[in-house]
Amino acid sequence: MEVHFGSNNLLILNVILAFMMFGVSLSLTGADFRRVLQRPDAPIVGLIAQFVLLPAATCLTTWYFDVDPQLALGMILVASCPGGSFSNIMTWLARANVAVSVSMTAVSSLAAMFLTPFNFALYGYINPNTRSILTEIQLDSMDILVLVALVLGLPLVIGMLMGKAFPAFAQAAQKPMRVVTLLVLFLFVGVAFGNNMDVFLATADRIVGLVVLQNLLALGLGAFAAGLTGLPRNDRRAITIEVGIQNSGLGLAILFTFFPDASEMILIAAFWGVWHLVTGLLLAFWWGRHSGDDQAAEDAPCKDVS
C-alpha cells in the first residue's frame, strides 16, 4: 500500500509555509518579542507541554490500549516533532498571541534537532510493543537548521522589515492575507485528501480514530498546561494551538528517509498533517469570530449583586 505524499510534496509544502509566514510576520514588531522576553512563562509552559507531556502521554496511551506497534511508533514520532508553522497561521486567524506562537515554533524547531530523535528513541523504547521495531536514527542537524531558517526565519525577517518600512501596506494587506491564507490551507487539505483517498478509505478504520484522539490529546494538554498558569487568554490560546499543530512534515521526512517501508507509520504522519489543519482551522475560526466578545467578558468588571 503506497502513500502518495513524497519529497516533492514536502518541498511544495515548505514553499507554501514560507509564503504564509511572510504574511503573518507583516503584523509583527520588535515590541511583540520584547514582551515575550519580559515574560517568558508562556513559551516555557508551551514547550514543556510540547516536548514532555505530549510524548509521554502518547507513549503511555499507546501502551495501555495496546495499539499496533507500527501505528503506535508513528504516533510517538509525531508527538516528538516540534510545533508546525501552520500553528502560527492558526494563531493569527484566531487573533491570539502570534509572537508567543512564533517564538515557540522557532525555539521548538531548534530544540527538535536534539529532542525529536531523543524522545522518539526514548518513548519508542519505553513502550514494549514498539521496542522491537525501533531502530536507531540519525538526523542531520545542519539540514534541519537550514530548513527552519528558510521556511520560518527568512520569511519572518523579510515580513517584519517590510511591515516596518511600509506600515500602510502591512495594514492594508491584513484582511487580504487572511483570505489568501484560508484559501491556501483549504487547497492543501483538499489536495492531500484527494491524492490519498484510496489509501484513506482502505485504512480509515485503523488510522482515523487514532489520529483524531491524539490530536484531541495534544490540544487538551496544551490547554491544560496553559490553564494552570493563569496566563492571559491570548497566550493560552496560542499555546493550545501550538501544541495541537505538530510539524508532521518533519515526521514524514524522517520516515521517508529512515523508515521508507513503514507504510502505517507514514499514514499516521500524513493524515495527522491533514487532520490537524481541520481542527486547527475550526478552532481558529471559532476563536477569531468570538475574540471580541470573549475579551469584553474578560475585561468587564464584576457587578455587586448584594
Determine the CATH number of domain 7-287.
1.20.1530.20
Query: Could you tell me how far CA 132 lies from the centroid of its own chain?
Result: 29
Query: In this predicted structure, what is the pLDDT of residue 98?
Result: 82
Answer whether residue 169 shows pLDDT above 80.
Answer: yes
Average pLDDT, the chain: 79
Among candidate residues 306, 299, 286, the one with its CA nearest the CA of residue 96: 286
Cell of 136: 536507531
Q: Tell if the pTM clears 0.75, that is, is over it.
A: yes
Cα angle 33, 11, 284 (rounded to 5 degrees) comes to 45
Structure-model confidence comparison of residues 104 and 295, the more confident one = 104
Give the model confidence (pLDDT) of 68-125 as tens digits. Answer: 998 999 999 999 988 876 787 788 888 888 888 877 877 777 777 778 888 988 899 8
Query: Could you tell me how far CA 91 lies from the centroid of its own chain?
Result: 10
State which amino acid sits at residue 198.
Answer: D
CA distance 64 to 62: 6
Q: Are 170 and 26 in contact (CB under 8 A)?
A: yes
Among candidate residues 295, 278, 275, 297, the one with its CA nearest the CA of residue 287: 295
